[in-house]
Amino acid sequence: MGIIAQLLGKGKTGRQEEVTRLYELYKPPFLSFLRKYYGIDKETACDLYQESFITLCQNVRDGKYTEGQASLKTYLFEIGKRKACNWMRSNKMEPEEEQNLFSEWIAANETPREWREAQEIAAQLVQETEEICRRVLTLFYWERLPMAEIALRMNYKDADVAKNKKSSCLRRLTFELQKRLETIDIHWKRKEKK
């Protein structure tokens, strides 16, 4: 029996207990995910978790979620990613965040050897990145095109779709770059938000 069927089949008290159990079960990995990949402070991450969990419960109740489409946890994290992106956009964090990624690394690792190696790894990583991400990042960072123009060139619905794609690609690229640098004993950690 699936988790949704279990929830709907229980009495009111049983449902509340199960919802509370799921809330507590998914909270730590969700908070860790938002803090690690989005650099969001703990208090904001807790707020976004609560909003995401409420949305999850509403979607389950309204039949918008069915168990075959994704696990409950995956579905919750997808809701959370959207809410985190919206929160970052509304707080105008994204552009500053992205501009600081490499400047933070440079400040933390000033030796010329490490800088040259990091540049080589980053260049290789950009070449290995999927075509869509490489194209969006190139149009934004190298050609310095505005999001509306990128959306037009990539046949996206609007500038927001292009911006979300760029942010997603940059996060994946940054995560992979950090991982590869650590394999050659170059360590870089983004500054935590207070």
pLDDT digits (tens, 9 = 90+) for 17-41: 888 888 999 999 999 888 877 778 8
What is the span of the domain harbouring residue 99? 3-110
Q: What is the average per-residue pLDDT within 151-155?
A: 93
Last residue of a domain, one of 110, 139, 172: 110
Last residue of a domain, one of 63, 89, 110: 110
The per-residue pLDDT for 115 is: 67
The per-residue pLDDT for 82 is: 84
Asked if residue 29 belongs to a domain, the reply is yes
Same domain, residue pair 120 and 101: no
Instruction: Check: CB of residue 118 under 8 Å from CB of residue 181.
Output: yes
Task: Describe the chain by its helix, strand, coil percentages, rounded to 5.
Answer: 75, 0, 25
Rounded Cα gap, residues 66 and 80, in angstroms = 18
Rounded Cα gap, residues 183 and 42, in angstroms = 28
Same domain, residue pair 13 and 66: yes
Rounded Cα gap, residues 110 and 130, in angstroms = 30
Is pLDDT of 101 > 50?
A: no
Rounded Cα gap, residues 54 and 76, in angstroms = 10
**pLDDT band for position 145 (cuts 50, 70, 90):** confident
State the Cα torsion 77-83-85-86 to the nearest 10°.
Answer: 170
Is pLDDT of 98 > 50?
A: no
Last residue of a domain, one of 110, 131, 146: 110
The per-residue pLDDT for 8 is: 52
Same domain, residue pair 42 and 76: yes
Same domain, residue pair 101 and 147: no
The per-residue pLDDT for 157 is: 92
Would you give the distance in Å from CA 119 to the centre of its chain? 24
**pLDDT band for position 106 (cuts 50, 70, 90):** very low
Asked if residue 153 belongs to a domain, the reply is yes
Is pLDDT of 4 > 80?
A: no
Same domain, residue pair 44 and 83: yes
Asked if residue 12 belongs to a domain, the reply is yes
Q: What is the average per-residue pLDDT within 89-98?
A: 57
Can you give the CATH number for the domain in which 160 is found? 1.10.10
Same domain, residue pair 106 and 171: no
Same domain, residue pair 38 and 53: yes
Same domain, residue pair 96 and 134: no
Asked if residue 188 belongs to a domain, the reply is no
Asked if residue 192 belongs to a domain, the reply is no
Say how many domains are in the chain: 2
Instruction: Check: CB of residue 67 under 8 Å from CB of residue 2.
Output: yes
Among residues of the chain, what percentage have pLDDT more than 90? 22
Radius of gyration of the chain (CA): 20
Report the run of H or E that residue 41 belongs to, with start and end. none
